[in-house]
Structure 1
Amino acid sequence: MSEDRWTPPSVLLAVDLVILTLRDSLLQVLLVERGVEPYRGAWALPGGFLNNSDEGLKEAAHRELLEEAGLNGSQLHLEQIGTYGDPGRDPRGRIVSVAYLAIAPGLPEPAPGTDAAGASWVPVQEVLCRRRTLAFDHYDILVDGVERAREKLERTALATAFCGSTFTIADLQRVYEAVWGVQLDPRNFYRKVQGVPGFIVATGSVRRTARGRPARVFRAGPCTVLNPPIVRPERTGTGEEKQ
């Protein structure tokens, strides 16, 4: 086809956000109740269209984080998951979405954005088990985002992004258990974490606990890649770690 007869396809670009945090020792995702069509009243991941041709993808992700969740993207872990562009994924037309994974500890109660009727933290497992249906192809995006987090916990220091500036090894263990969905043996986990040089660094202080001895307090170390990795354990019928 000659260039003078070629018409650029009409494609809109959007970003969607898988925002994860730990609340009540559970891995939770931020969902919004759509206040407009399509899927008015349905739950979905936060997101929206790029504002204009001058806005970059990461800029749009930062803007949506602020508008949809009141979060400063520079203060949390943010990475691109993938691109979703199957025909028919959106009844409004040909829309391609670039999805981002965002992680931060202790995130506050959300306030819905301008086109949302509500916003809520929801346990990830409730969505993965299909007890709550998501609009568009957001279930697939969530699955990909959660699996990305699970995989990265094995080989990177991502787990510290779920913690505050300081934490105990028990806090770190709760992150792994919540994201992986398994129970871990404390002594085995302690040995594995301490066996990764530069993963965590002792602050020299302790935290008083209701039971037992005071717990040592740590902060994130300089390494970003875990060597050796902390490999996800096999699961038994009870969901506990095999020893």
Structure 2
Amino acid sequence: MTSREHAVLRLALDLAILTVRDNALQVLTITRGNAPFRSRPALPGGFLRDGEDLLAAAVRELREETALDGEPMHLEQLSAYGAPERDPRGRVVSVAYLAIVPDPPDPEPGSDAASAAWMPVARVRGRLAFDHDQILDDAVERVRSRLEFTTLATAFCGSTFTIGDIRNVYEVVWGRALDPRNFNRKVINTVGFVEPTGQKRIPHLGRPAVLYRHGGQKALNPPILRSHAAAA
């Protein structure tokens, strides 16, 4: 029979912070300096303090463990994770947050983090402490899905970008090559996805590329579906 006693638990926050660097989808990680899982990579996070708001706790933990400022980031709740054996220290439920940052600075370790670094998702997957592999998988799938139906790709690119930059985000996050002509036509013809700035990026070699900014819309209509994306 299931016990009718109420569970006594601690509440934690974990953060899946994603970016595109060096043509790879990367995640912010720390190396744990304390038990359990000492010396194992993990997502930044920690325990909620008395009288503290969830989002404030997530921002604090990010700052303490990596020296990155979460205030300007759009941190959104991803999910809650509460499997009974997820933490060997006792019953711990974690509320995970997701954020996407363009061109982030290198982190600096602090608190109980022995080190902090941006790591390719493909390299760190399967090595993370606790149930952070599941949190990371859920975060990546959330982003992959939202690229189909929203203008989220612009969040990876900063204030201005080329259509090639947007296509690179899709290719990196989805892990597949896209036909440049078809993709460029879809982006430019989708109202509110991007708008030209009137400026161009002048490369050292090659032709100048038109610079765009976010066009103000959040939803993509029509969507850019993974199942319909044409391979190069």
TM-score range, shorter chain: over 0.9
Q: Which amino acid aligns with 1:181?
A: G
Partners of 1:63 and 1:234 in 2: CA distance: 41
Deviation at 1:76, TM superposition (A): 2.3
Contact 1:234/1:242 (<8 A) preserved: no
Q: Which amino acid aligns with 1:117?
A: A
TM-score, normalised relative to structure 1? 0.89
Aligned to 1:111: 108
Aligned to 1:39: 37
Provide structure 1 residue ranges, at least 5 long, that are not aligned to the other structure: 1-5, 236-240
Deviation at 1:221, TM superposition (A): 1.4
Encode CA deviations 1:104-129: one digit per residue, 9 max, x unaligned: 0111111112101111111111133x
Partners of 1:47 and 1:177 in 2: CA distance: 29
Q: Please give the residue correspondences for 1:133-212 in structure 2 after superposition, counting only pairs within 5 Å.
A: 133-212=127-206
Deviation at 1:8, TM superposition (A): 5.2
Deviation at 1:242, TM superposition (A): 3.5
Deviation at 1:55, TM superposition (A): 1.1
Deviation at 1:36, TM superposition (A): 0.3
Aligned to 2:21: 23
Contact 2:12/2:93 (<8 A) preserved: yes
Deviation at 1:72, TM superposition (A): 2.7
Contact 2:67/2:109 (<8 A) preserved: no
Partners of 1:101 and 1:225 in 2: CA distance: 19
Partners of 1:75 and 1:227 in 2: CA distance: 28
TM-score, normalised relative to structure 2? 0.93
Deviation at 1:87, TM superposition (A): 0.5
Deviation at 1:222, TM superposition (A): 1.0
Contact 2:201/2:209 (<8 A) preserved: yes
Instruction: Give the one of 99, 103, 111 matched to 2:96.
Output: 99
SS of equivalent residue, structure 1 residue 89? coil
Partners of 2:195 and 2:174 in 1: CA distance: 23
Q: Which amino acid aligns with 1:75?
A: P
Partners of 1:78 and 1:221 in 2: CA distance: 21
Provide structure 2 residue ranges, at least 5 long, that are not aligned to the other structure: none
Instruction: Give the one of 218, 221, 225 matched to 1:231.
Output: 225
Contact 1:33/1:116 (<8 A) preserved: yes
Aligned to 1:242: 231
Deviation at 1:79, TM superposition (A): 1.1
Report the aligned-residue RMSD. 1.7
Partners of 2:144 and 2:55 in 1: CA distance: 23
Contact 1:157/1:199 (<8 A) preserved: yes
Encode CA deviations 1:56-108: one digit per residue, 9 max, x unaligned: 11111121222223333232232111000001100000000000111101111
Deviation at 1:7, TM superposition (A): 7.2
Deviates more, 1:54-63 or 1:65-74: 65-74
Partners of 1:197 and 1:67 in 2: CA distance: 41
Q: Which amino acid aligns with 2:128?
A: L
Partners of 2:185 and 2:33 in 1: CA distance: 49
Deviation at 1:233, TM superposition (A): 4.0
Deviates more, 1:68-77 or 1:95-104: 68-77
Contact 1:233/1:242 (<8 A) preserved: no
Contact 2:177/2:231 (<8 A) preserved: no
Instruction: Give the one of 47, 51, 59 matched to 1:62.
Output: 59
Contact 1:66/1:73 (<8 A) preserved: yes
Deviates more, 1:143-152 or 1:207-216: 207-216
Contact 2:16/2:98 (<8 A) preserved: yes
Partners of 1:105 and 1:125 in 2: CA distance: 19
Q: 1:78 aligned to 2:67? A: no
Partners of 1:134 and 1:219 in 2: CA distance: 36
